[in-house]
Amino acid sequence: MKEAPKYIVVADHLRQEILEKQYAINEQLPQENAIADAYNVSRITVRKALDILVDENLIYRIQGSGTFVKDNQAHETGSQESSLEIFDFSKFKVKLLNFAVNKPNVKIMDQLNVNEFDFTYEIERLILDEEDVVALQKVYMPAKIIQGMRMDVLNGSIYEFLTGELNMTLGSAIRTISSEIANEDVMQTMGLKEKEPLLTMEQRSFLTSGQIFEYVYNYIRPSKFSLHESVNLTS
């Protein structure tokens, strides 16, 4: 199997250090020259690695000062599975639309930090409340990390399979929440009669090692589903 580009390797190592809290929030990372020397790579390679972490909202740059760790890491609010899980599959049903193993397109390669020689699981499923469609979920996972995926697993929580059968330790996730009007393809897939406004949620999920294992894009009907979180300022 072809080795990952050097900038991906550097990004993976730095991500792991950040997620393991080897750097404090707002702490400055070493200068590019120092990182280049530590990994025996060029500054251009380091810059490309840092660009990945900026895109992931793990770090931020201040011109003339350097690169710093961003306060965006998942905070512990219970079990790891429930903090990553969006839907409670004891309450919602799943209708599997597609399960395939394919080579990723450019967008998925960027999101999962894989290359054109890797394969990814592509999962498309509807989340249902009784017969009402609540959401459309598109999930992508690197096959070299998640081995032995089965179709029956996709009818509920995939995370339970990862932790229970594959003995993986889930770490954190980065979520980006936005909104958009359903296009024709999404309307047809979700069975919508008109162009509804949808809540969109992107999630990139990581193991405790810092390895990314999932990219998921959710189209959620806010009229059928609401997000609830508790905030505790005393802990």
From CA 84, how far away is CA 89, in angstroms rounded? Answer: 13
Choice among 63-77, 116-130, 132-146, 189-203 with the minimum mean pLDDT: 63-77
Tell me whether residue 226 is in a domain: no
pLDDT at 27 over 90: no
Q: Check residue 233 and give its pLDDT.
A: 57
Those residues with Cβ within 8 angstroms of residue 161's Cβ, 6 or more apart along the chain or in another chain: 149, 150, 153
Q: How confident is the model at residue 175 (pLDDT cuts 50, 70, 90)?
A: confident
Those residues with Cβ within 8 angstroms of residue 81's Cβ, 6 or more apart along the chain or in another chain: 157, 159, 160, 163, 170
Contact indicator for 146, 166 with CB cutoff of 8 Å: yes
From CA 72, how far away is CA 61, in angstroms rounded? Answer: 15
The DSSP symbol for 28 reads: B
Tell me whether residue 231 is in a domain: no
Task: Tell me the residue range of the domain where 196 lies.
Answer: 80-220
Query: Do 156 and 62 share a structural domain?
Result: no
Query: Do 87 and 118 share a structural domain?
Result: yes
Q: How confident is the model at residue 81 (pLDDT cuts 50, 70, 90)?
A: very low
Supply the CATH number for residue 26's domain: 1.10.10.10
Question: Model pTM?
Answer: 0.68
Mean pLDDT of 140-166: 93
Q: Check residue 77 and give its pLDDT.
A: 36
Mean pLDDT of 59-78: 67
Per the structure, how many domains does the chain have?
2
Alpha helices, H only, the chain: 6-19, 32-39, 43-55, 80-84, 106-112, 158-164, 184-190
Q: Among 214, 157, 167, 175, which residue's Cα sits nearest to residue 74?
A: 175
SS (H, E, C) 172-187: EEEEEEEEEECCHHHH
Query: Do 136 and 48 share a structural domain?
Result: no
Supply the CATH number for residue 92's domain: 3.40.1410.10
Query: Do 190 and 161 share a structural domain?
Result: yes
Choice among 15-29, 45-59, 68-82, 102-116 with the minimum mean pLDDT: 68-82
